[in-house]
A and B are shown apart, each in its own frame.
Chain A
Amino acid sequence: MDKKFVTIPKSETPLTKEDFISDQMVKWCPGCGGHAILASVAKAFPNTGYKKENFVLVSGIGCSSRFPYYVNTYGFHGIHGRANAIASGVKIFNPHLSVWINTGDGDSMAIGGNHFIHTIRRNIDVNILMFNNKIYGLTKGQYSPTTPMGVETKTSPFGTIEQPFNPGELVIGSQGTFFARAVDTNPKLMTEVVEEATKHDGTSVVEVLENCVIFYDKAHEKITSKETRDNNQLILKHGEPMVFGTEKNKGIRYNPGKGGLEVVTIGINGITIKDILVHDQYSKDPGIHLMLAKMHLPEFPIALGVIRSAAFPTYNELFEVQMYEEQKSSKIKCMDDLLNSGDTWEI
């Protein structure tokens, strides 16, 4: 369907990062990944071109959910787990707002899991920034639904015995139309990904691997440290082959015999660049996207960048179409019409 209803007004004057910095003191711990995320978002927002009054940031509860206080937009700091539901109301009521959700791994996948999957399933046109530090930060270090199996935390003194969620898998499994992954140590990639999320119509989920220096320091170290990152990260770019590694000679190949992906080395066993998968983030079929999202160490690198960005009708567009059609065709135009509709009589 041609997009006709859901538009966000543009700013008449160009905006800068400074337009989005609030006067509030940022209270995250020094070294917390949150700082880098904030800087990247403040850089990405002016590039969207939207009017600054048309941004609304909604959050739940957690360290990550303090985010709206630090950005000078309309902001709503909600209750634990409910940011997705609150934001859905904002966007359905006024689709001309650019709605952002700041949430944590616990906020969106434990207490708010239900709202998270349903927001995604409906494809409500909001942008979810999920800070995945794999721990409950604000409540001081209990395990979360993304804490890896076996990790000792305050509430798992003998190691967790739960399988963690992979957020990308959950998003795509919930019919997600956009999923990207970024790391707090790569602000440039994060800004790019946030801009891509803005462009996407429908729910976009950006998982940011965030380091909680206090309660789960170095949770993502293998992915982010200088020494290991080149071999452990695959930064996806649409239309480009999926190569990675310090030598840029490793790649991801689809192996039909295995029915899945595998890591291959270019130049070995006759493998050439032609064997390497080319990333198609716009593919409607989620098959490869799901495989990419699920890749994990040590067998695979971790996929970063935009994994999926598929065009499907959004809830809000469909909603506005129905509103428009009904307002055009219904005989009931005002309350007096409704009150006097059907069987009535004079006494």
Chain B
Amino acid sequence: MTNKPTQQKDELVVKFVGDSGDGMQLIGTFFSDASALAGNDLATFPDFPAEIRAPHNTIPGVSGFQVHIGQSKIYTPGDLCDVLIAMNPASLKSNLKWAKVGATLIVNESTFDDDAIAKAGYTTNPLTDESLSNYHLVAAPITSLTKKACEEFGIDLKTVDRSKNMFALGMLCFITGRGMEHIFHLFDKKFVEKPKIKEINKTVFRAGYNYAETAEVVESVINVPAAAAALEKGRYRNVTGNVATAWGLLAAAEKSGRPLFLGSYPITPATEILIELALHKSLGARVFQAEDEIAGICSAIGASFAGAMACTTTSGPGLSLKSEAMGLAVMTELPLVIVNVQRAGPSTGIPTKSEQSDLNQALFGRNGEAPLVVMAASSPADCFYAAFEASRISMETMTPVILLTDGYIGFGSELFRIPKMADLPQIHPPIAAANDPNYKPYNRDANLVRQWAIPGTEGLRHRIGGLEKEDGKGNVSSDPLNHQKMVNLRRDKVLKIADRIPLQDVIGEEKGDLLVVSWGGTKGATLSAVQGMQAQGKKISLAHFTNIMPLPKNTEQVLSNFKKVIVPELNDGQFVNYLRMKFPHIKLEQYNKVQGLPFTVSELTEQFTKIMEGK
């Protein structure tokens, strides 16, 4: 350890930016995992370019990764960073705006040649023109120092160049007081099959670490103490939202005894769920990469008919393709979980950027009167519970459920307290008994739920489909009054699901001056803003919704207890208009942003303050 003075910090935001090939995601993940091992709470967010490899040294080619670590509970990847690691001029140029004034900038000086400087859109070299005087600039010749450190290995220049990210990581770890042991533990695991790469990385890492120390690049070392006090006791891991979603689905399959079937077609930012589930054949997961989204959902409907815990995963444009088939699932009253990882639309939109703009599509995007359940996950780790709950409701009520997540929480990660499977509720699908003489496809129980008669079972042969069915018997029927009855039944069945979901909770006082109403992936930002203002004594509370259709039974009550209500959303006002439709007498303010970017805590705080002050 160093003998430099340490500076205690409650939290720290680090952003890693560089060219797409510079390995920023990798060192970002190493730093996050090492911080987690050191006991910090954290949240991360990768910021991918849309192109796989845009031209070298250009702004479209910049790839980023942000991590927020803390000794208290961390809810977002952070607004602005305290440390920015920039591996080339383009990444510095495009990300300086995300650094706090006074932030430490670790910059790879070696890449600042005239050509790269010009490509980034600078007219003069920012490292020497004094334009960065408001920051603590640490300009280090990272590439050439890496080359030197690698001399002993006699390796080619390309490999040398690829390990320069480890030099930066070494510098960062010195500056943030992270010992080498956690990083080296992670290297040992990650590169277990590539011992040479592991040695190179360790050497380069050490060189960066020592360089930061001997060159005295900072006056004091930052220390963010472990978060043990803020976190519930238990076993933890880091998890991204997409992986958590996949695991929630698998957990529901285990708890229901119905093996999982996934029919899916790759699409950013949902593909990682498909990739994760494809790994788990050993858990009985049957994964089918279909020829398109329509085949994805239709195969899932077929599997559901055959008795699977069926799901399909996609993002906005894919959800559009699934519309007709969702209606089929509504009509046949089969369980089906449709996960939609929202991204910026319309059309292809901005695939790698996040939004909440598919809510209308989820609620209304089908022909006919076709209600289904709509839920939303709040954070990367919450994706696990949301996917589990979506599956539970779908199977227990024989109703398709759309689960909305988004690219921000899907790609983002946070600490996840590992549950014990024994602590999760058992799921009870209404499976029809063999040879039941009273079985009829559309007979219902008190909750209006029909039974699941699974092919292969004796004595239950029956036929269902997309044509309107006669109540009870299930024969094809175009009788007007029967149609009315079936429409009402399908609606009431969905509304009755409100009995199975928890009441809406309010974070803070139940009455007050301002209620913030948010849903889905914005929870980290709205909660941080609201808690910050509560700490200043403001009468502000948060109602964060995960159940959208049906709404919790006490929604109207919750909304009525405040002088003002504001609904911030990353869309043009979809949830607020849904609430207005349901509760036309309640006045609702809105704050909307549709830039493909998450809310920052500071902009929300500003908006909430404004509205509380009546501006």
Which A positions have Cβ atoms within 8 angstroms of B? 9, 22, 24, 52-54, 56, 58-59, 61, 68-69, 72-79, 82, 85-94, 96-97, 114-115, 118, 319, 322-323, 326-327, 329-330, 332-336, 338-340, 342-347
A77 touches B466 (CB 8 A): yes
> Within the complex, what minimum Cβ distance (angstroms) separates B149 from chain A?
27
Query: Given that A79-B328, A90-B303, A92-B303 are contacting pairs, would A347 and B465 also be in contact in the complex, using a CB cutoff of 8 Å?
Result: no
Query: Given that A54-B456, A82-B295, A93-B261 are contacting pairs, would A336 and B421 also be in contact in the complex, using a CB cutoff of 8 Å?
Result: yes
Point out the residues of chain B lying under 8 angstroms from A9, CB to CB. 456
> Within the complex, what minimum Cβ distance (angstroms) separates B286 from chain A?
6
A89 touches B281 (CB 8 A): no
B307 touches A344 (CB 8 A): no
A93 touches B236 (CB 8 A): no
30 contacts between A and B (CB under 8 A): A22-B463, A52-B461, A68-B465, A74-B305, A74-B463, A75-B461, A76-B465, A77-B465, A79-B466, A82-B325, A86-B302, A86-B305, A89-B298, A93-B307, A93-B308, A94-B456, A114-B295, A115-B298, A118-B290, A118-B291, A322-B281, A323-B281, A326-B282, A334-B283, A335-B421, A343-B237, A345-B36, A345-B236, A347-B231, A347-B235
> Within the complex, what minimum Cβ distance (angstroms) separates A168 from chain B?
21
A89 touches B301 (CB 8 A): yes
> Within the complex, what minimum Cβ distance (angstroms) separates A286 from chain B?
22
> Within the complex, what minimum Cβ distance (angstroms) separates B315 from chain A?
19
Query: Given that A54-B456, A90-B306, A323-B281 are contacting pairs, would A78 and B465 also be in contact in the complex, using a CB cutoff of 8 Å?
Result: yes
A343 touches B261 (CB 8 A): no
Query: Given that A86-B301, A92-B288 are contacting pairs, would A344 and B455 also be in contact in the complex, using a CB cutoff of 8 Å?
Result: no
A93 touches B302 (CB 8 A): yes
The answer to the question of B420 belonging to the interface, with a C-beta cut-off of 8 Å to chain A, is yes
> Which of B71-79, B120-128, B246-254, B591-599 is the contact stretch?
B246-254
> Within the complex, what minimum Cβ distance (angstroms) separates A96 from chain B?
7
Picked from B189, B250, B282, B291, the residue with its CB within 8 Å of the CB of A330 is B282
> Within the complex, what minimum Cβ distance (angstroms) separates A243 from chain B?
41
B37 touches A88 (CB 8 A): no
Of B228, B306, B328, B475, chain A has the most CB atoms within 10 Å of the CB of B306
Picked from A86, A114, A322, A332, the residue with its CB within 8 Å of the CB of B283 is A332
Chain B facing A: main interface SS: mixed
Beyond the given A69-B463, A76-B332, please list 6 additional residue pairs across the A-B interface where CB-CB is below 8 A. Answer: A52-B461, A75-B464, A79-B325, A85-B291, A94-B307, A344-B236
A69 touches B476 (CB 8 A): yes
Q: Bits for B12-43, please: 1 = Cβ < 8 Å to A, else 0.
A: 00000000000000000000010011010000
Point out the residues of chain B lying under 8 angstroms from A93, CB to CB. 259, 261, 286, 302-303, 306-308, 310
Point out the residues of chain B lying under 8 angstroms from A96, CB to CB. 456
Q: How far is the CA of A56 from the CA of B303 in the complex (A)?
A: 12
B458 touches A347 (CB 8 A): no
Q: How far is the CA of A326 from the CA of B284 in the complex (A)?
A: 9
Point out the residues of chain A lying under 8 angstroms from B308, CB to CB. 89, 93
> Within the complex, what minimum Cβ distance (angstroms) separates A19 from chain B?
10
> Within the complex, what minimum Cβ distance (angstroms) separates B283 from chain A?
7
Closest to B229 in A: A347
The answer to the question of B457 belonging to the interface, with a C-beta cut-off of 8 Å to chain A, is yes
> Within the complex, what minimum Cβ distance (angstroms) separates B381 from chain A?
12
A90 touches B36 (CB 8 A): no
A94 touches B455 (CB 8 A): yes
B residues 438-467 touching A (CB-CB < 8 Å): 455-467
Closest to B302 in A: A89
B292 touches A114 (CB 8 A): yes
Of A52, A93, A96, A97, chain B has the most CB atoms within 10 Å of the CB of A93
Closest to B308 in A: A93
B305 touches A76 (CB 8 A): yes
B residues 269-316 touching A (CB-CB < 8 Å): 280-284, 286, 288, 290-292, 294-295, 298-308, 310
B299 touches A92 (CB 8 A): yes
A79 touches B281 (CB 8 A): no
* Shortest beta-carbon contacts, A-B, top 9: A77-B465, A89-B302, A89-B299, A330-B282, A75-B463, A85-B298, A86-B302, A93-B303, A326-B281
Point out the residues of chain B lying under 8 angstroms from A85, CB to CB. 263, 290-291, 294-295, 298-299, 302
Of A87, A91, A329, A344, chain B has the most CB atoms within 10 Å of the CB of A344
Point out the residues of chain B lying under 8 angstroms from A68, CB to CB. 463, 465
Point out the residues of chain B lying under 8 angstroms from A319, CB to CB. 286
B250 touches A343 (CB 8 A): no
A338 touches B283 (CB 8 A): yes
A89 touches B303 (CB 8 A): yes
Of A86, A96, A114, A322, chain B has the most CB atoms within 10 Å of the CB of A86
Query: Given that A52-B461, A68-B463, A74-B463 are contacting pairs, would A343 and B455 also be in contact in the complex, using a CB cutoff of 8 Å?
Result: no
The answer to the question of B503 belonging to the interface, with a C-beta cut-off of 8 Å to chain A, is no
Picked from B261, B288, B298, B418, the residue with its CB within 8 Å of the CB of A78 is B298
Which B positions have Cβ atoms within 8 angstroms of A? 33, 36-37, 39, 186, 189, 227-228, 231-238, 247, 250-251, 254, 259, 261, 263, 280-284, 286, 288, 290-292, 294-295, 298-308, 310, 324-325, 327-328, 332, 418-421, 455-467, 475-476
Q: How far is the CA of A132 from the CA of B332 in the complex (A)?
A: 28
> Within the complex, what minimum Cβ distance (angstroms) separates B280 from chain A?
7
B236 touches A86 (CB 8 A): no
Of A53, A73, A333, chain B has the most CB atoms within 10 Å of the CB of A53
Q: How far is the CA of A319 from the CA of B462 in the complex (A)?
A: 28
A53 touches B303 (CB 8 A): no
Point out the residues of chain B lying under 8 angstroms from A69, CB to CB. 463, 476
Query: Given that A76-B302, A79-B466, A85-B298 are contacting pairs, would A339 and B418 also be in contact in the complex, using a CB cutoff of 8 Å?
Result: yes
B467 touches A77 (CB 8 A): yes
Picked from B234, B238, B292, B462, the residue with its CB within 8 Å of the CB of A74 is B462
Q: How far is the CA of A78 from the CA of B310 in the complex (A)?
A: 16
Q: How far is the CA of A92 from the CA of B290 in the complex (A)?
A: 12
Q: How far is the CA of A345 from the CA of B420 in the complex (A)?
A: 15
Point out the residues of chain B lying under 8 angstroms from A82, CB to CB. 294-295, 298, 325
Q: How far is the CA of A323 from the CA of B282 in the complex (A)?
A: 7
Point out the residues of chain A lying under 8 angstroms from B39, CB to CB. 347
Point out the residues of chain A lying under 8 angstroms from B186, CB to CB. 343
Q: How far is the CA of A201 from the CA of B137 in the complex (A)?
A: 68
Point out the residues of chain A lying under 8 angstroms from B327, CB to CB. 79
Point out the residues of chain A lying under 8 angstroms from B237, CB to CB. 339, 342-345
> Within the complex, what minimum Cβ distance (angstroms) separates B206 from chain A?
22
B295 touches A118 (CB 8 A): yes
Of B251, B288, B460, chain A has the most CB atoms within 10 Å of the CB of B288
Q: How far is the CA of A90 from the CA of B307 in the complex (A)?
A: 9
Q: How far is the CA of A275 from the CA of B512 in the complex (A)?
A: 96
Q: How far is the CA of A195 from the CA of B126 in the complex (A)?
A: 78
Query: Given that A94-B455, A327-B281 are contacting pairs, would A89 and B461 also be in contact in the complex, using a CB cutoff of 8 Å?
Result: no
Picked from A77, A90, A323, the residue with its CB within 8 Å of the CB of B302 is A90
Point out the residues of chain B lying under 8 angstroms from A24, CB to CB. 475
Q: How far is the CA of A24 from the CA of B456 in the complex (A)?
A: 21
Q: How far is the CA of A94 from the CA of B455 in the complex (A)?
A: 9
> Within the complex, what minimum Cβ distance (angstroms) separates B185 from chain A?
9
Closest to B305 in A: A76
Point out the residues of chain B lying under 8 angstroms from A59, CB to CB. 465
Q: How far is the CA of A56 from the CA of B302 in the complex (A)?
A: 10
Q: How far is the CA of A77 from the CA of B231 in the complex (A)?
A: 52
Of B290, B291, B324, B463, chain A has the most CB atoms within 10 Å of the CB of B463
Point out the residues of chain B lying under 8 angstroms from A56, CB to CB. 305-306, 455
Q: How far is the CA of A142 from the CA of B261 in the complex (A)?
A: 37
> Within the complex, what minimum Cβ distance (angstroms) separates B187 from chain A?
12
B302 touches A346 (CB 8 A): no
Q: How far is the CA of A103 from the CA of B466 in the complex (A)?
A: 15
Closest to A66 in B: B476
Query: Given that A334-B283, A338-B250 are contacting pairs, would A115 and B295 also be in contact in the complex, using a CB cutoff of 8 Å?
Result: yes
Point out the residues of chain A lying under 8 angstroms from B325, CB to CB. 79, 82
> Within the complex, what minimum Cβ distance (angstroms) separates A315 from chain B?
9
